[in-house]
Chains A and B, each alone.
Chain A
């Protein structure tokens, strides 16, 4: 599903965010990427939807070398991924429903199917009934669940989440992770970056630990 091979990422300023990172995530797997702030977690996740391009090595997603993709092909790659961003990237001038509908605007689904999928996604994250609300009216946990609903509305086979539990209380964080686990249980591959070691340990899933841009452990499944 996802394969990193000797991946390095150096930003234009010269900062090296990732060095010689190699690992594979199989289809249907749930894995965490952990490490301190600045360890390279976000950079690693950004390489998967080609938000960033690797400076060296290759990143394969569903067999596609995303580092070599043409600019015009990137949107089609991203449509098959579910992305949950660290800052959620919700639109606060739109309703909850309109936020979830956004990825469906450029999909091939008709209006009825799009509406059905949007309601189903909101139902899965427990936000059905809040369609008309503005995201600003939601709690931090609810906003994060809305971000997940938007990520899964196109039914992606791979879900990538960057610090989805950051700034959440323990109870909300646990609920968010339960949602990811639920998606994984129906076959969705899930890759979550978090710095919360205790949360990771509670689930006992595979952990890729990054330290100073290098993969310190977890390169192969336990």
Chain B
């Protein structure tokens, strides 16, 4: 089955991202395809390459990166909503340049794109599963 995931909450504050990760990992292990994971609301914070959790804790961002979810063109399918990301200070190199900001913090396993990617995921996938409050 082709599955897409929407994550609405940030890491560590809320378990939604952890649960979604466990779900994605289990689905892949069962032979399903994760078409896209879309990070929305505070969920965009899951894409920060600057998180430093204590050594004895799980690393939520690296967990996502380890799933290596990509499309046929080799682009990451861990997609961060651009509007939600910008208002929360989550920037990739391109957005930082466009907005004159001297830094960027999106992990390379993720990419920034528009909300249309969420709708497209809903259209293309057999299931869209939403994680959050």
Q: Do A and B bind each other?
A: no
